[in-house]
Structure 1
Amino acid sequence: MTTQRALVEVKDAARWFDVSAPWLERVLSRKPRTLLRAVDGVSFTIRKGETLALVGESGCGKSTIARLLVGLYPLTQGSILFDGQPLSNMQGRNGLALRKRLQMIFQDPYASLNPRWRVGRIIAEPILAHTTLTPAEREARVDALLTQVGLHPSDKSRFPHQFSGGQRQRISIARALAVNPEFLVCDEPTSALDVSVQAQVLNIMKDLQRNLGLTYLFISHNLAVVHHVADRVGVMYLGRIVEIADRDTLFADPKHPYTRMLLSAIPDMTGQGASRTPVAGEVPNPLNPPSGCTFHPRCPFVRDLCKTESPVTQNFKGVEIACHGVTQGWPMQISG
């Protein structure tokens, strides 16, 4: 694992969405504003050259963090630093220079590509926006990018619908690399692909990271994929990170009950009947989250403190964790 300096620093980041009823209806019914706290006080760092993966159930805030990092959403509170520079203002000339250094790969490789444009124009679009290359230089750059992701330069004359899902995602990767970024935000880039195609795309991404010195934020709900690509893993639940650890540490010795639940959900292919942490219930309504630790209604180790006091993230044996039971040393083994 890399020991480079921090390239991305997220400090107490929050993004709340106003999902209230229309103004007049709210006034007549005397209802207060309703806020959806999609991300609520998240902090983490990503070191240069590493891959930090974010995992969690749907709706936990992973994709919102991705959009915060590339400036598609403004922060409600907190700060995000990229190489020491705040991302709070990505407008103007300074913002354009900053955008060049970070790019995003979206989940759906078809919806993120303009179906009316040929592949060559799609990949050349960021080059036009961020560079002063001549037409001949742009064309050469597009050819090189297509080759780099395992496609042929002649593919630039085709439209996105003429490619398979895996090929379309390669085109998305080529577009993201067009202006030589340092940091890629990958929002479930393989979830829409077949398993065999997933492996091909992931191997391309790992090769590109090694050859180009890229830094990744990799968002996924597939823990097998995360184990393959990540250096460190952050686990999210209802808008907060509950555990961050090195990949091998987290998979070998998960500490937070929710992390244990996620790992227990991986099918056991060994036939050895590994010990599992059963968790009942569904994800609570994010518009009305539980008090205290938001995981407490589903936690098999819950105590009264969990219901009233939200745990503070602490460093426990090299793991960043937010859990009263772990940090206070409660017995946390399933009996029977």
Structure 2
Amino acid sequence: MSTERPLVEVHDAARWFDVSAPWLERVLSRKPRSILRAVDGVSFGIRKGETLALVGESGCGKSTIARMLVGLYPLTRGTITFDGQPISNMQGRSGLALRKRLQMIFQDPYASLNPRWRVGRIIAEPMLAHTNMTEQERDARVDVLLTQVGLHASDKSRFPHQFSGGQRQRISIARALAVNPEFLVCDEPTSALDVSVQAQVLNIMKDLQRNLGLTYLFISHNLAVVHHVADRVGVMYLGRIVEIADRDTLFSNPQHPYTRMLLSAIPDMTGQGRKRTPVAGEVPNPLNPPSGCTFHPRCPFARERCKSEAPATQNFKGVEIACHGVAEGWPMQV
């Protein structure tokens, strides 16, 4: 395993949201404050040039982490650094140089593009904020970017509504690349696209990563997509990471019961069948999560310790995992 310092380092990061009722309503009804712990103590690193994917069910905190990484959400606690610089330094004019190095690709390409602007202006907008390029230089750069993502330079004169969903996501990618970033946060960039279009966009992203030396955080709930793009995979459940491993290790030998559940849900297209780990129940209310290991109500291997004590994250043969059963070698077969 590489010993070089990660480009992105996240340590004990948390983001809590106060979703309480208005003050007067709480006073009259004597209701306590309601705190949503969307992310609660997450740590990981991303090495330069690699793709780390985050997976998990809806509401587990993946998109919140994405917004924390690019400075859209402040941290409740913990630290996030990019190339040794705290992400908190991205606020104000002093953070312009740092913000230039990190960009984000959003899930919905139409919602993230200004419908009143032509594509050329949309792509050029970051250059106005981060560079001193002339109008001619910006125009030439837009032409190059459109070509890199598989569109034509002449497309810059059209509006977003004149493109298909896949083409709009290519425009979003071109805009993210406008100021030559090093790190892209990709928040489910293909989930709104048809399967055939997903493959095209993913291949473009892989080519760009190889040619430009990009580093990706790739967020998805689609494990087939993750298997195609990721170098390493982190599995999230109720605001915490329960397992991080190399892609091949995680898909061939998952350790955490929740990871097994996610993988067993992938449709078997071989016709040969496979063993599945039955897991009952629904995701608990994040406003009132279970004590101890938050997965214990759904885990077929849970014991009394799981109900009272949250497992620490430990390294087992290169796999970062938070599970009492794995740590203590409990029988975990069904």
The two structures share one fold, judged by TM-score above 0.5: yes
* Paired amino acid for 2:71: G
Match of 2:294 in 1: 294
Q: Give, in angstroms, the shift of residue 317 of structure 1.
A: 1.5
Note if contact 1:3-1:47 (Cα within 8 Å) is conserved in structure 2. Answer: no
Runs of 4+ in 1 over 4 A off after TM superposition: 1-4
Match of 2:237 in 1: 237
Match of 1:159 in 2: 159
Match of 2:93 in 1: 93
- Of all paired residues, the percent bearing the same amino acid is 90
* Paired amino acid for 1:206: K
In the alignment, the residues of structure 1 paired with residue 110 and residue 205 of structure 2 have an alpha-carbon distance, to the nearest angstrom, of 18
Map 1:26-45 → 2, pairs under 5 A: 26-45=26-45
Q: Give, in angstroms, the shift of residue 92 of structure 1.
A: 2.7
* Paired amino acid for 2:223: L
Q: What is the CA deviation profile of residues 53-112 of structure 1, one whole-angstrom value per residue up to 9, with x for unaligned ones? A: 000000000000000000010000000000000011312333111000000000001000
Match of 2:321 in 1: 321
Could you say what the CA RMSD is over the residues aligned between the two structures, in angstroms?
A: 1.0
In the alignment, the residues of structure 2 paired with residue 23 and residue 89 of structure 1 have an alpha-carbon distance, to the nearest angstrom, of 33
In the alignment, the residues of structure 2 paired with residue 155 and residue 318 of structure 1 have an alpha-carbon distance, to the nearest angstrom, of 47
In the alignment, the residues of structure 1 paired with residue 48 and residue 299 of structure 2 have an alpha-carbon distance, to the nearest angstrom, of 35
In the alignment, the residues of structure 2 paired with residue 309 and residue 180 of structure 1 have an alpha-carbon distance, to the nearest angstrom, of 45
* Paired amino acid for 1:295: F
Q: What is the CA deviation profile of residues 97-134 of structure 1, one whole-angstrom value per residue up to 9, with x for unaligned ones? A: 10000000000010000000000000000011100001
Map 1:1-336 → 2, pairs under 5 A: 4-334=4-334
Gap runs ≥5 in structure 1 = none
Name the CA shift for 1:124/1:192 in 2 (closer, same or farther; >3 Å).
same
SS at 1:263 equivalent: helix
**What is the number of equivalent residue pairs in this alignment?**
334
Note if contact 1:55-1:233 (Cα within 8 Å) is conserved in structure 2. Answer: yes
Deviates more, 1:265-274 or 1:295-304: 265-274
* Paired amino acid for 1:287: L
SS at 1:186 equivalent: strand
Q: Give, in angstroms, the shift of residue 3 of structure 1.
A: 6.6
SS at 1:36 equivalent: strand
Q: Give, in angstroms, the shift of residue 4 of structure 1.
A: 5.0
Q: What is the CA deviation profile of residues 274-329 of structure 1, one whole-angstrom value per residue up to 9, with x for unaligned ones? A: 11111000000000000000000000101000000000000011100000001100
SS at 1:275 equivalent: coil
Note if contact 1:160-1:168 (Cα within 8 Å) is conserved in structure 2. Answer: yes
Q: Could you tell me the TM-score, scaled by structure 2's length?
A: 0.99
* Paired amino acid for 2:150: G
